[in-house]
Amino acid sequence: MHYYYQKYPYLNYSYRDTDGPWTMFSIPPKMLVTEFVNKFGQKPKTFFDCGAAIGVIVMMAQKLGMDARGIDIKNYPYKSSNLEELFTSGKIQIKSILDCEPIVADIVFCNGTLTYFSETELPNVLAKFRNSKMICAIHNTTEDIAAAAANGDILTTCNKTRLIKPQNWWINTFTKNGFNVKYAEHIRCFCAVPSHSK
């Protein structure tokens, strides 16, 4: 059994993308809601998933009572019929973060999405989030790769180059781009709040 699945059984630890298999984590939206409440003292009303894939996280966020939307850079061929309405209604749109207007939401979720961008693109990506309240970004770091390897596992990254950096590098990148950030170890997540937020 995969090391991280043993250690964090609530995380979905593997995924097969149309570009090939890769190992990643996902967080149930209710855990992100808890982080938001701990920070702001109230429940979030809006949720935006950057990298929504087939829409499962958006649907889960809707069931928690949030106005949930999302984007993904491609249209996945295997959406189930109960998720199709998210796309036909425009709740999920096919576009890149870089092509979006500034994203405004209480929670913006990036599940591996930031690792698709280059170091030079990241400032423009993060700038899209400055009007949101909390960014929750989960992705493999150098430490994840090393911990998995020490336990005989390989964190695959499909057929695309991914930006794999240490946790401190990501913290510094968020900070340099106008965010106060902490790494929530218990959910393997970078929780970043724009510096102007109270």
List C-alpha distances in Å: 154 to 15, 25, 110, 174.
Answer: 14, 14, 22, 27
Q: Would you say 166 and 146 are in contact if contact means Cβ atoms under 8 Å apart? A: no
Q: Would you say 83 and 56 are in contact if contact means Cβ atoms under 8 Å apart? A: yes
pLDDT in tens, the chain (198 residues): 444 545 554 444 444 444 444 455 567 788 888 899 999 999 999 999 999 988 888 998 999 999 999 999 887 765 677 788 898 899 999 999 999 999 999 999 998 899 889 999 999 999 999 999 999 998 878 877 777 677 666 665 544 567 889 999 999 999 999 999 999 887 788 999 999 754
Amino acid 164: pLDDT:
85
pTM of the predicted model as reported, rounded to 2 decimal places = 0.85
Q: How far apart (Å, rounded) are the C-alpha atoms in residues 84 and 159?
A: 27
Q: Would you say 105 and 46 are in contact if contact means Cβ atoms under 8 Å apart? A: yes
Region class of 65: left (phi > 0), else alpha (psi between -120 and 50), else beta: left
Spell out the domain ranges in the chain. Answer: 3-194
Helix axes 81-88, 56-63, angle to 10 degrees: 90
Which fold, 3-194?
Answer: Rossmann fold (3.40.50)
Amino acid 149: pLDDT:
73
Q: How far apart (Å, rounded) are the C-alpha atoms in residues 40 and 133?
A: 9
